[in-house]
Amino acid sequence: MKRQGIAEALRDAITEEMARDTRVFCIGEDIGVPGGWGGAFTVTLGLAEKFPGRIIDTPIAELGFTGIAVGAAMMGLRPIADVQYGDFLFLASDQLINNAAKLRYMSGGAIKVPMVMRAPVGATGRGSQHAQSMERYFTGVPGLKVVAVSTAFDAKGMLKAAVRDDNPVMIFEHKLLYGSKGARAEPGAVDATSEIPDEDYVVPLDRAAVRREGRHVTILGWLLMAHFARQAAEILAQEGIEAEVIDVRSLSPIDYETIGASLRKTGRVVIVEEGPKTGGVSAEIAAGIMENCADALMAPVVRVASADVPVPFTPVLENAYRPDVPRIVEAARQLVQH
Amino acid sequence: MNPTSTPSTPAVSVLTGDRSFLLRLYEQLVLIREFEERVKFLFLEGTMPGTIHQCQGQEATAVGVCAALRADDYITSTFRGHGHALAKGLGVQEMLDELFGAVTGCCKGKGGSMHMGNMDKGMVPGIAIVGGGIPLAAGMALAFKMQRRPQVVACFFGDGAVAEGAFHEGVNMAAIWNLPVVFVCENNLYGASTRIDKVMKNPRVSDRAASYGFRGETVDGNDVLAVLGAARRAAAECREGQGPVLLELLTYRRTGHSRRDACHYQAKDEREAWFARDPIERYAAQLLTRSDVTLADLAAVKARVIQEIDAGVERAKRAPQPTVAELTTDVLA
Q: How far off is chain A from B100, nearest CA to CA, in Å? A: 15
Q: Dump strand ranges (E) for chain A.
A: 2-4, 24-28, 55-57, 78-82, 116-121, 145-149, 169-174, 194-196, 209-212, 217-221, 243-247, 250-252, 269-276, 302-306
Domain range B3-320, CATH architecture: 3-Layer(aba) Sandwich (3.40)
Q: What is the pLDDT of residue B5?
A: 41
Q: What is the pLDDT of residues B236-280, one digit of tens each?
A: 999 999 999 999 999 999 998 887 788 999 999 999 999 999 999
Query: What CA–CA distance (Å, rounded) separates A206 from B28?
Result: 49
Q: What is the pLDDT of residues B132-145, one digit of tens each?
A: 999 999 999 999 99
Q: What is the pLDDT of residues B218-235, one digit of tens each?
A: 999 999 999 999 999 999
Q: What is the pLDDT of residue A183?
A: 63
| A244: annotated active-site residue | no
Give the mean pLDDT of chain B: 95
Domains and CATH numbers, chain A: 2-196 (3.40.50.970), 209-337 (3.40.50.920)
Query: What CA–CA distance (Å, rounded) separates B56 from B280?
Result: 10
- Does the beta-carbon distance from A70 to B111 stay under 8 Å? no
Would you tell me how many other CB atoms lie within 10 Å of the CB of residue B268?
A: 7
Structural domain boundaries in chain B: 3-320
Q: Which of A58, A70, A143 has the CB atom closest to B332's CB atom?
A: A143
- Does the beta-carbon distance from A68 to B110 stay under 8 Å? no
On whether the CB atoms of residues B281 and B59 are closer than 8 A, the answer is no
Q: Which of A59, A67, A76 has the CB atom closest to B166's CB atom?
A: A67
Q: What is the pLDDT of residue A180?
A: 67
Q: What is the pLDDT of residue A187?
A: 84
Cα–Cα distances (Å) from B38 to A336, B87, B131, in that order, read 69, 17, 28
Q: What is the pLDDT of residues B76-85, one digit of tens each?
A: 999 999 999 9
B173 contacts on A by Cβ (under 8 Å) = 58-59, 61, 64-65, 68
Rg for chain B (alpha carbons), in Å? 19
Name the stretches of chain A with pLDDT < 70.
Answer: 180-184
Q: What is the pLDDT of residue B2?
A: 44
B108 contacts on A by Cβ (under 8 Å) = 108-109
Length of chain A as a residue count: 338
Confidence of residue B6 (pLDDT cuts 50, 70, 90): very low
Average pLDDT over residues B190-217: 96
The ipTM, to two decimals, is 0.96
Average pLDDT over residues B295-321: 98
Instruction: Given the residues A130, A174, A216, A227, select the one marked as catalytic.
Output: A130
